[in-house]
């Protein structure tokens, strides 16, 4: 089945009818994210995320969202260890909310809590946290999940506004990153955008003042500073390629 929202395979609405007796066992494995090389990032996450990731922007129709770069090659997450652990101190909220997600109605006026039933922790043996009590009502665990996702959704809307402002100001320009492997192979990463420093300097004093008051100017400089982390991604890729070399190549 084609994955929904990058990492979700079988996300279905959480209901007492379908999920009575269902529990979710926690895990420190993030193996579900192995086949992604970028994920959305909320604006509120910039201060933590930009210390470890390269943060760029991606267009989705008329929307623009920040994303963290996890890899150069398609379907390769370089922040994922072979044993499924995450190789960074900060884990983006997009990853942390899994296996839960909100699904919106066509008119966008209501949200439904969903769970990816393909998550290996989903069980009917009572392992982990139950989704519903004997009374058929959501457990406190589900209440906490809802609180987290409601906050995530609120931050998502704020981030959409931030993206629209960047588009309106015309601050973005295409980004192209190229990495040369030890064997001389060149790998390119494109399709993303970054803020142009010259375009940022050319903004009027009034516009800059507005960006300062909204804390968005800080986000822009955090984004620009984060681009140095492409070196980390490159180093991780080169290390992975070295691990992939057969033993005979060492002669």
> Which sequence spans correspond to the domains of the chain?
11-234
* Count of C-beta atoms within a 10 Å radius of residue 84: 14
- Side by side, the strands of the sheet bearing 55-60 are 38-40, 63-69, 55-60, 186-195, 172-180
pLDDT at 30: 96
- DSSP calls for 118-153: TSTTEESS--SEESB-TTSSBPHHHHHHHHHHHHHH
pLDDT at 244: 59
- What is the enclosing helix (H) or strand (E) of 112? strand 111-116
pLDDT tens for the chain, residues 1 to 251: 234 478 999 899 999 999 999 999 999 999 999 999 999 999 999 999 999 999 999 998 788 999 999 999 888 999 999 999 999 999 999 999 999 999 987 676 789 999 999 999 999 999 999 999 999 999 999 999 999 999 999 999 999 999 999 999 999 999 988 887 777 778 888 889 999 999 999 999 999 999 999 999 999 999 999 999 999 998 898 887 766 554 333 32
Distance CA 82, CA 64 (A): 32
Burial class for 200, CB neighbours closer than 10 Å (0-12, 13-18, 19+): middle
Contact criterion met (CB below 8 Å) for 65 and 40: yes
Contact criterion met (CB below 8 Å) for 114 and 101: yes
- Side by side, the strands of the sheet bearing 129-130 are 122-123, 23-24, 129-130
Tokens 């209440």 -> residue: 143
pLDDT at 92: 98
Q: What is the DSSP letter of 245?
A: S
pLDDT at 179: 80
pLDDT at 109: 77
Distance CA 92, CA 97 (A): 9
pLDDT at 247: 39
């Amino acid at each position: 089945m084609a994955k929904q929202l990058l990492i979700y395979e079988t996300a279905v609405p959480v209901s007492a009818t379908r999920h009575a007796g269902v529990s979710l066992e926690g895990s420190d494995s993030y193996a579900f994210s192995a086949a992604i090389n970028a994920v959305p990032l909320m604006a509120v996450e910039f201060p933590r995320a930009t210390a470890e990731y390269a943060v760029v922007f991606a267009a989705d129709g008329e929307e623009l969202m920040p994303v963290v770069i996890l890899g150069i090659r398609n379907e390769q997450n370089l922040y994922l260890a072979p044993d499924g652990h995450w190789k960074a101190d900060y884990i983006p909220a997009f990853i942390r909310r899994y296996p839960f997600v909100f699904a919106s109605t066509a008119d966008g006026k209501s949200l439904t809590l969903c769970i990816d039933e393909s998550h290996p922790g989903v069980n009917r043996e009572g392992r982990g946290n139950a989704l519903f009590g004997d009374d058929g009502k959501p457990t406190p665990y589900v209440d906490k999940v809802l609180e987290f996702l409601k906050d995530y959704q609120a931050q998502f809307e704020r981030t959409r506004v931030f993206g629209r402002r960047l588009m309106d100001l015309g601050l973005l320009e295409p980004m192209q990153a190229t990495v040369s492997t030890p064997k001389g192979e060149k790998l390119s990463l494109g399709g993303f955008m970054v803020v142009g420093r010259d375009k940022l300097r050319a903004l009027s004093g009034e516009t800059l003042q507005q960006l300062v008051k909204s804390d968005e100017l800080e986000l822009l400089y955090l984004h620009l500073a984060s681009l140095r982390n492409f070196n980390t991604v490159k180093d991780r890729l080169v290390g992975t390629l070295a691990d992939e070399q057969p033993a005979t190549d060492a002669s």
